[in-house]
């Protein structure tokens, strides 16, 4: 009786250990889950624009939504939590990128929050960043950190569409810390380091 | 005694401060002459501003080869040739300081050149102009031949009609297309003096006119040409009045931009854009590849973040995604052996939209953002494939991914998932592919030998 119990206990412990090892091995299940498991949440994340009353504004924003979704802005501007991208904070910023000579930058909050997001910026300021990489504070965004060269290659009309869409994102009160120009690299042999996490500060 | 010394010391300090301040102000005024710019002090101040604001695109030596240059179209101006596009001076002449001041202050529409007046005082811009002029000996040896624009005539319907005729006679449509739609017969074969492909602007989109879209701006382009580009001066083939007429005609071609259209027109505009894309998938594909960040990871870059010459889209960037392994970006050029030359269209589309590689491997959803590319329409995907097929082949044999041994992998996963440690994805400069075909072949032959 006691022996049987002991064996059962052993089996349970063994199952737990094997289960834990499998969990470690397979989570996140990049190699077993179908690709749709990752592309569907990404496709579902953008907000609906159905409630924009001006039909011209809605059509422009819809066009911008297609561009923003397919360019992959979300890859750097939607923070990563323990279970992957935090889609409740869609495009609210918070990932960290370090450059060898430039310091560490946290991706910015693109939602229209008026205190910490893009709601603080004028249309001209945002369009200038898209076209020229020149940030509202007069500093050039580094093209390998924020690839503004791609937005610069867009037509003016597409840049306006992107802006129209960003103005209709769900505002998220996520404060983004200033760049740290003296931050050291974890590995000085690499050129850039990308930290998949959330360095934003919820307000 | 004490009060006496105070009475002496205080006024002395005031006088000293006054003299000192005057001296400093004079020195500043002397060292910053508004128009000469050749003084050593102003040149060094200009140099400092240039290096912190301009060199990122235009390069430290003004050759138009800054860190971001290879990523940009149009390419940043190379100042060493002393050739400037937007001038109020005769064709072939160097620009006036005021021309440069206008370009730097206002920026160039629809290019990466910002309106610096928002950030830098005009005095500082003048210092930069002084420094920019040191890059070419032309500014020391030549004098600009300014052209003064006469008063603008009044636009009348008859002037517009003459303008349309002049436009025809001067063959404007051969580059700019009939009605200025930007699809002239020679439009795809134009290059600037630096060998970069030149796209003639669509005259229907005045917001893209880099030098401005007022009748006077356009008249100046007719009168003085755009140096370094195929746009000549028409001084010998049209009269002054005719050039004004043509300028008025060009302004009349402008349409409403999408962001100011009403819903019906916008719908029609997007429909016509879609049909243009269908009839010219390679052009649409180039636009999508240029705007969808492909170059960030698929073009090898140097340690200073410039793009490696001749390696655009040839892959070979090393990305270490501990604990998942080390990955090398795919060569996207049409090379048969090492690029996409041997991929079927379906294989390219599958990789872009599902992250499944040719060898049936699976890509992580980052940094290749295939979950985002999965939202591309079928037509856009076909356009991307059509364009990638046209990339000239570059031999660059990409190594297979390297995976960690099981113990290191599990230890990394344990730290990541249980201890909550954030491991950075690391990007490395330099090419990790084998770009020398003979070396590449000998290695693949050697590995085949081992397998035998």
* pLDDT score recorded for residue B1: 44
* pLDDT score recorded for residue B23: 47
* pLDDT score recorded for residue A162: 98
Pairwise CB contact (< 8 Å): B426 & A194: yes
Q: Residue B34 above 70 pLDDT?
A: no
Which stretch of B18-32, B219-233, B238-252 has the lowest confidence by average pLDDT?
B18-32
Q: Residue B442 above 60 pLDDT?
A: no
Percentage of chain B exceeding pLDDT 90 = 76
Q: Residue B79 above 50 pLDDT?
A: yes
Q: In what order do the strands lie in the sheet with A192-195?
A: A103-106, A96-99, A192-195, B425-428, B318-321, B325-328
Q: A85 has which bridge partners?
A: A80
Query: What is the band of B450 on the pLDDT scale with cuts at 50, 70, 90?
Result: very low
Task: Report chain B residues whose CB lies below 8 A from the CB of A67.
Answer: 291
Query: What is the band of B35 on the pLDDT scale with cuts at 50, 70, 90?
Result: very low
Q: Which residue has the tokens 């082949």?
A: B393
Q: Residue B164 above 80 pLDDT?
A: yes
Q: What is the mean pLDDT of residues B242-254?
A: 96
Give the nearest chain A residue to B289 (CA atoms). A150
**Residue A100 sits at the chain B interface (C-beta within 8 Å):** yes
Q: Residue B162 above 70 pLDDT?
A: yes
Q: Residue B25 above 70 pLDDT?
A: no
A114 to chain B, minimum CA–CA distance in Å? Answer: 22
Q: What is the mean pLDDT of residues B247-264?
A: 96
CB count, 10 Å around CB of B372?
23
ipTM of the predicted structure?
Answer: 0.94
Domain boundaries, chain A: 1-33, 42-202
* pLDDT score recorded for residue B136: 95
Contacts of B378 by beta carbon, 8 Å cutoff, 6+ apart: none
Give the nearest chain A residue to B366 (CA atoms). A75
DSSP state at residue A168: T
* pLDDT score recorded for residue B72: 94
* pLDDT score recorded for residue B43: 74
Task: Report chain A residues whose CB lies below 8 A from the CB of B114.
Answer: 128, 131-132, 134
Give the nearest chain B residue to A138 (CA atoms). B119
* pLDDT score recorded for residue B127: 96
Pairwise CB contact (< 8 Å): B263 & A59: yes
Give the nearest chain B residue to A97 (CA atoms). B424
Question: pLDDT: is B206 or B200 the higher one?
Answer: B206
**Residue A24 sits at the chain B interface (C-beta within 8 Å):** yes
* Cis geometry, peptide bond prior to residue B74 (ω within 30 degrees of 0): yes
Q: Residue B445 above 50 pLDDT?
A: no
Task: Report chain A residues whose CB lies below 8 A from the CB of B261.
Answer: 56
> Of B307, B306, B294, nearest to B388 (Cα)?
B294
SS3 B13: helix
pLDDT digits (tens, 9 = 90+) for B87-118: 999 999 999 999 999 999 999 999 999 999 99
**Residue A141 sits at the chain B interface (C-beta within 8 Å):** no
Query: What is the band of B4 on the pLDDT scale with cuts at 50, 70, 90?
Result: low
* pLDDT score recorded for residue A32: 83
The rounded distance, in Å, linking the Cα atoms of B384 and B152 is: 47
Backbone angles phi, psi at B358, to 5 degrees: -60, -35
Q: Residue B3 above 50 pLDDT?
A: yes
Pairwise CB contact (< 8 Å): A195 & B266: no
pLDDT digits (tens, 9 = 90+) for B374-405: 999 999 999 999 999 999 999 999 999 999 99
Which of residues 51 through 90 in chain A touch B, CB cutoff 8 A? 54-56, 58-60, 63, 66-67, 69-75, 82, 84
CATH code for the domain defined by B35-141: 1.10.760.10
Pairwise CB contact (< 8 Å): A128 & B208: no
Q: What is the mean pLDDT of residues B19-33?
A: 46
Same fold flag, B35-141 and B157-255: yes
Pairwise CB contact (< 8 Å): A132 & B53: no
The whole-number mean pLDDT for each consecutive block of 10 residues of chain A, a chain of 203 residues, reads 89 94 85 89 95 96 98 95 92 93 92 96 97 93 92 97 97 95 88 94 85
**Residue A158 sits at the chain B interface (C-beta within 8 Å):** yes
pLDDT digits (tens, 9 = 90+) for B342-381: 999 999 999 999 999 999 989 998 899 999 999 999 999 9
Query: What is the band of B10 on the pLDDT scale with cuts at 50, 70, 90?
Result: low
> Of A125, A156, A155, A130, nearest to A141 (Cα)?
A130
Nearest to B375 among A30, A70, A128 (CB): A70
A173 to chain B, minimum CA–CA distance in Å? Answer: 23
* pLDDT score recorded for residue A41: 93
Give the pair of three-digit tokens for residue B95. Answer: 């620009």
SS3 A156: helix
The rounded distance, in Å, linking the Cα atoms of A149 and B278 is: 25
**Residue A153 sits at the chain B interface (C-beta within 8 Å):** yes
Question: pLDDT: is B5 or B64 the higher one?
Answer: B64
Give the nearest chain A residue to B296 (CA atoms). A144
- Let me know the angle formed at the C-alpha of A129 by A127 and A135, rounded to the nearest 5 degrees: 130
CATH code for the domain defined by B157-255: 1.10.760.10
- CB pairs A-B closer than 8 Å: 193
Pairwise CB contact (< 8 Å): B367 & A128: no
Q: What is the mean pLDDT of residues B210-227?
A: 95
Phi-psi category of residue B77: left, alpha or beta, with phi > 0 → left and psi -120 to 50 → alpha? beta
Domain boundaries, chain B: 1-31, 35-141, 157-255, 298-451
Q: Residue B152 above 50 pLDDT?
A: yes
Pairwise CB contact (< 8 Å): B376 & A70: yes
Query: What is the band of B32 on the pLDDT scale with cuts at 50, 70, 90?
Result: very low
* pLDDT score recorded for residue B238: 94
């Amino acid at each position: 009786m006691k022996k049987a119990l002991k064996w059962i206990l052993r089996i349970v412990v063994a199952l737990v250990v094997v289960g834990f090892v499998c969990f470690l091995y397979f989570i996140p299940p990049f190699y077993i889950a179908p690709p749709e498991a990752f592309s569907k949440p990404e496709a579902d994340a953008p907000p609906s624009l159905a409630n924009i009353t001006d039909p011209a504004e809605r059509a422009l924003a819809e066009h911008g939504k297609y561009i923003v979704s397919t360019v992959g802005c979300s890859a750097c501007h939607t923070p990563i939590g323990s279970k992957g991208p935090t889609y409740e904070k869609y495009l609210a910023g918070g990932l960290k990128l370090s450059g060898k000579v430039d310091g560490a930058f946290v991706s910015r909050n693109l939602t229209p929050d008026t205190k910490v997001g893009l709601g603080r910026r004028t249309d001209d300021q945002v369009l200038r960043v898209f076209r020229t990489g020149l940030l509202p504070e007069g500093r050039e965004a580094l093209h390998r950190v924020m690839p503004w060269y791609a937005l610069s290659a867009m037509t003016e009309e597409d840049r306006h569409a992107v802006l129209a869409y960003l103005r209709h994102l769900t505002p998220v009160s996520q404060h983004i810390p200033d760049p740290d120009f003296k931050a050291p690299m974890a590995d000085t042999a690499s050129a850039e380091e990308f930290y998949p996490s959330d360095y934003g500060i919820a307000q | 005694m004490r009060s006496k010394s105070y009475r002496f010391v205080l006024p002395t300090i005031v006088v000293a401060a006054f003299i000192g301040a005057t001296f400093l102000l004079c020195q500043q005024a002397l060292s910053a002459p508004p128009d000469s710019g050749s003084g050593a002090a102003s040149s060094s101040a200009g140099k400092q501003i240039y290096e912190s604001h301009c060199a990122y695109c235009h390069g430290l030596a003004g050759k138009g080869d800054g860190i971001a240059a290879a990523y940009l179209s149009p390419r940043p101006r190379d100042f060493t040739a002393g050739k400037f596009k937007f001038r109020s001076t005769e064709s072939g002449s160097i620009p006036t300081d005021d021309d440069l001041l206008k370009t730097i202050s206002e920026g160039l529409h629809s290019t990466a050149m910002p309106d610096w007046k928002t950030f830098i005082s005009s005095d500082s811009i003048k210092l930069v102009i002084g420094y920019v002029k040191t890059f070419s000996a032309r500014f020391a040896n030549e004098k600009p031949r300014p052209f003064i624009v006469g008063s603008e005539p009044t636009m009348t319907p008859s002037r517009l009609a003459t303008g349309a005729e002049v436009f025809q006679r001067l063959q404007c449509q051969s580059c700019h297309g009939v009605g200025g739609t930007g699809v002239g017969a020679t439009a795809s074969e134009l290059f600037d003096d630096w060998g970069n492909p030149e796209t003639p602007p669509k005259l229907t989109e005045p917001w893209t006119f880099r030098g401005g879209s007022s009748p006077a701006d356009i008249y100046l382009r007719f009168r003085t040409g755009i140096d370094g580009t195929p746009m000549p001066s028409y001084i010998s083939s049209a009269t002054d009045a005719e050039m004004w007429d043509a300028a008025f005609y060009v302004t009349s071609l402008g349409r409403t931009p999408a962001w100011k259209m009403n819903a019906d027109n916008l719908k029609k505009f997007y429909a016509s854009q879609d049909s243009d894309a269908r009839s010219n998938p390679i052009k649409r594909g180039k636009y999508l590849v240029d705007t969808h960040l492909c170059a960030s990871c698929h073009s090898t870059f140097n340690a200073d973040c410039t793009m490696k010459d001749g390696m655009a889209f040839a892959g070979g960037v090393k990305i270490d995604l501990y604990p998942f392994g080390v990955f090398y970006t795919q060569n996207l050029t049409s090379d048969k052996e090492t690029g996409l030359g041997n991929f079927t269209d379906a294989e390219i589309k599958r990789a872009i939209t599902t992250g499944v590689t040719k060898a049936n491997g699976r890509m992580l959803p980052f940094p290749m953002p295939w979950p985002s590319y999965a939202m591309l329409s079928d037509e856009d995907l076909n356009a991307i494939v059509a364009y990638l097929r046209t990339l000239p082949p570059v031999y660059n044999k990409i190594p297979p991914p390297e995976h960690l041994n099981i113990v290191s992998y599990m230890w990394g996963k344990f730290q990541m998932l249980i201890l909550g440690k954030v491991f950075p994805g690391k990007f490395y400069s330099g090419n990790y592919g084998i770009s020398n075909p003979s070396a590449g072949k000998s290695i693949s032959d050697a590995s085949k030998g081992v397998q035998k």
